[in-house]
Amino acid sequence: MKQRLLNFTVLIEQDEDGMYIAKVPDIQGCYTQGRTIPEVLERAKEAMQVCLEAEPDTYIPLKFVGVQKVSIPA
């Protein structure tokens, strides 16, 4: 039997301490952190599985359109 794969967009940011923060917009409340990008991606996979197992209704499929940086006056 073939296993079905779900694909998710993961947003990665870096905080002031150098830690990487991964957020999964398709799953409400799903985020994690790590010291390196490979570490945060591995933890994101684990977090996605935990979130979906705990509350499958938190998965809201979104269509990724893009990322845009916007400037405003300070």
CATH number, position 21: 3.30.160.250
Q: Is residue 21 part of a domain?
A: yes
The pLDDT assigned to 56 comes to: 79
Q: Is residue 46 part of a domain?
A: yes
Q: Is residue 53 part of a domain?
A: yes
The pLDDT assigned to 33 comes to: 97
Number of structural domains the chain divides into: 1
pTM for the complete prediction?
A: 0.81
Q: Is residue 1 part of a domain?
A: no
With 80 as the cut, is the pLDDT of residue 1 above it? no
The pLDDT assigned to 58 comes to: 75
Residue 39's pLDDT band (boundaries 50, 70, 90)?
Answer: very high
Q: Is residue 66 part of a domain?
A: no
**Residue 33, domain extent:** 11-58
CA-nearest of 25, 23, 48 to 34 is 23
Q: Is residue 24 part of a domain?
A: yes
Q: What is the mean pLDDT of residues 30-37?
A: 97
Q: How far apart are CA 9 and CA 67, in angstroms?
A: 11
Q: How far apart are CA 39 and CA 31, in angstroms?
A: 13
